[in-house]
Structure 1
Amino acid sequence: MSLHQTSGRWRLGLALSIFTVILWGTVPIALAVAVQALDVYTVTWFRFVVSFVLLTVFLAVRQELPTVEKIRAAPIKLIAIAIIFFLFHYVSFLQGLAQTSPSNAEVLIQLAPVLMGLGALFIFKERYTLSQWIGLGLLTLGLVLFFNEQIIALINEPTNYLIGSGILILSAIFWAVYSLALKQLLHTLPSSNILLIVYGGCGLLLTPLAKPQPIFTLTAVQFAMLLFCGLNTVMGYGAFAESLDHLEASKVSAVVTLAPIVTFVSMWVVAGVAPNLIKPEHITAIGILGGLFVVGGSMIIALRARTSTD
């Protein structure tokens, strides 16, 4: 089986990865507000339905909807893997988050892009240069420093967080498997077509568990946050899928590790503008230093793309 090869337009891939980071870094705040009024399955179902509808309209206008022949030509088993593992990731992350805390969830979910990057090294035969391995070490050290308080709290917790932490680790594995399946599917289908199928499949599977009635009783702020979650899904994963077509998965994985930093910065901003909406996160000087290491390590890995095409 031939493996997917990147287009070589690494600067475009990097820009799309950064856009993905911004969207993924801000969505936890919206989710925190939305789950105050809705259950995990309904929030996730709504995100998939909104994404499916918007992407369908977009592709229909551009006359790029996937044909039956295209879908049949794609590996069905790989499509099924992408749908199932993407759904598992979404649901398990919110369940794990509910049983631990946002900070600890952010620590553990960082395993996802790391696992995707390491998987890409073996499956797609991607390679790190020496400087990129140094960058990975710097990134890892940065994550430890940035989340030092959360990691210590996680270790010191007796059994409270054990089940939730295990679910979050599984969520990271689910995401890595989905991402690698997505990259291989790009060999036969454009990213927009793959995501349309994935959104539709996930939304259909979640329909029996969703309770849409409470959506009509949400406050204006709650509904706005829920709608943002839906828009964030289609735009964030659209940019992520497209970035994999132009930049190696191992490098994309390095960039998306910046999402937690965006989350904490966004929380500071929201706490200043609307202090009653969400609790601000306190970061120590060591944490700030760790954040700089994460940024530096990620950029070293991402910007060492050895290609002459743009």
Structure 2
Amino acid sequence: MSHKPLLGFNLALLATATWGGLPIAAQKAISVIDAQTLVWFRFIVAAAGLILILGFAKKLPKLTAFTPKILLLIILGVIGLSLYFFGSSYALHFISPTTSQVLWQLSPFTMMLCSVVIFKEQFAVHQKIGLVLLLVGLVAFFNDRLGEILQLNAYAIGVLIGAISSMVWVAYGIAQKLLSANFNSQQILLMIYIGCGLVMTPFSSPTQLNEMNGWVLGCFIFCCLNTLIAYGAYAEALNHWQASKVSVVTVLIPIFTMLFSHLAHWLYPDVFEPLEMNLLSYIGAIIVIFGAMYSIIGQKLIKKNK
């Protein structure tokens, strides 16, 4: 790893900002095309881009490396990422982009719990504190919608789909962690993107693209480029900066989504809907983010105070 903290920070910030704007654009795109078609296009564009990048660098994965165990891990990653992409996109029919990103914070905590069970990693005090903060923050974030959630209406369905999708993502996270012993991050993404594209092909309708124009088409293009740019910037950030510090920056994704939502509505009120959150919801979102941060770097803070 080359030690270039400023470059690593800027790349992590680029990934975070790009991911932050994704659900806003995706929500507009799925108003015209279905979620599975949008996801299919995203995987195909990302796979094509990585083939060009890795092919030019002569770093395409070698066929001789594909053992039965490797293939099983790729399948696990494909299942996790395809279900996450589809579920998080489909949930936007019922919930706001900011809600989607707050629910995303369930992913690192689920990954953390799975690591304790599967990889026998320690469940440290700072991680337990972070988990408690996450739960408290989620209750505060949904304070004005708890009644709707308990009634199991459309909003509750969206929250449930978003939460399950975020936790299913862990299958991809585990697969990537195990595959990293044989491939670099970009090679892993390429294999999983191709697999996800193949899985989503029977469910997609590419001809729906003909129905797009104006703002919706622009949002669709942003969604397709988002996967390649964000994941590429994130992977490259890890090559120049410590993983824990990169993770802290990416935890700020909901903040960017809130900012972009307000900005988009302010600039184009006829196109983008306002962000409807009360003060306690904002506080809850901050607590969720702080809980995720503390679970990542809390151990270092505890050591400094000793």
Aligned match of 1:190 in 155, 166, 184? 184
> 1:131–1:84: structure 2 CA closer, same or farther, 3 Å change rule?
closer
Give, in whole Å, the separation in 1 of the partners of 2:73 and 2:2: 21
Give, in whole Å, the separation in 1 of the partners of 2:249 and 2:147: 26
| SS of equivalent to 1:283 | coil
Per the alignment, residue 123 of structure 1 pairs with: 118
Per the alignment, residue 200 of structure 1 pairs with: 194
- The 10-residue stretch of structure 1 (53-62 or 7-16) with the greater mean CA deviation from structure 2: 7-16
| SS of equivalent to 1:194 | helix
Aligned match of 1:221 in 206, 215, 221? 215
How much has 1:269 moved relative to structure 2?
0.7
> 1:258–1:125: structure 2 CA closer, same or farther, 3 Å change rule?
farther
Per the alignment, residue 3 of structure 1 pairs with: none
Identity %: 34
How much has 1:198 moved relative to structure 2?
0.9
Give, in whole Å, the separation in 2 of the partners of 1:302 and 1:46: 33
- The 10-residue stretch of structure 1 (195-204 or 139-148) with the greater mean CA deviation from structure 2: 139-148
Count of aligned positions: 301
Give, in whole Å, the separation in 2 of the partners of 1:180 and 1:268: 35
TM-score of the pair, normalised by structure 1: 0.80
Q: Which amino acid aligns with 1:219?
A: N
Give, in whole Å, the separation in 1 of the partners of 2:286 and 2:264: 22
Per the alignment, residue 39 of structure 2 pairs with: 44
How much has 1:182 moved relative to structure 2?
1.1
1:79 aligns with 2:74: yes
Give, in whole Å, the separation in 2 of the partners of 1:239 and 1:177: 22
| SS of equivalent to 1:37 | coil
How much has 1:147 moved relative to structure 2?
3.8
| SS of equivalent to 2:93 | helix
Mapping for residues 134-173 of structure 1, pairs under 5 Å: 134-150=129-145, 152-161=146-155, 163-173=157-167
Per the alignment, residue 92 of structure 2 pairs with: 97
Per the alignment, residue 170 of structure 2 pairs with: 176
CA offset digits 1:148-189 (Å, max 9, x no partner): 324x24434344445544433331232112112111111111
> 1:22–1:119: structure 2 CA closer, same or farther, 3 Å change rule?
farther
Contact kept? 1:117, 1:251, Cα under 8 Å: no
Per the alignment, residue 22 of structure 1 pairs with: 17
Per the alignment, residue 304 of structure 2 pairs with: none
Contact kept? 1:142, 1:290, Cα under 8 Å: yes
> 1:241–1:63: structure 2 CA closer, same or farther, 3 Å change rule?
same
How much has 1:112 moved relative to structure 2?
2.2
> 1:18–1:105: structure 2 CA closer, same or farther, 3 Å change rule?
same
> 1:104–1:241: structure 2 CA closer, same or farther, 3 Å change rule?
same
| SS of equivalent to 1:58 | helix
Aligned match of 1:212 in 188, 200, 206? 206
Aligned match of 1:67 in 51, 55, 62? 62
Unmatched segments (≥5 aa) in structure 1: 1-5
Give, in whole Å, the separation in 2 of the partners of 1:166 and 1:141: 17
How much has 1:193 moved relative to structure 2?
0.6
Unmatched segments (≥5 aa) in structure 2: 301-306
TM-score of the pair, normalised by structure 2: 0.81
| SS of equivalent to 2:66 | helix
Give, in whole Å, the separation in 1 of the partners of 2:24 and 2:217: 13
How much has 1:136 moved relative to structure 2?
4.3
Give, in whole Å, the separation in 2 of the partners of 1:109 and 1:124: 22
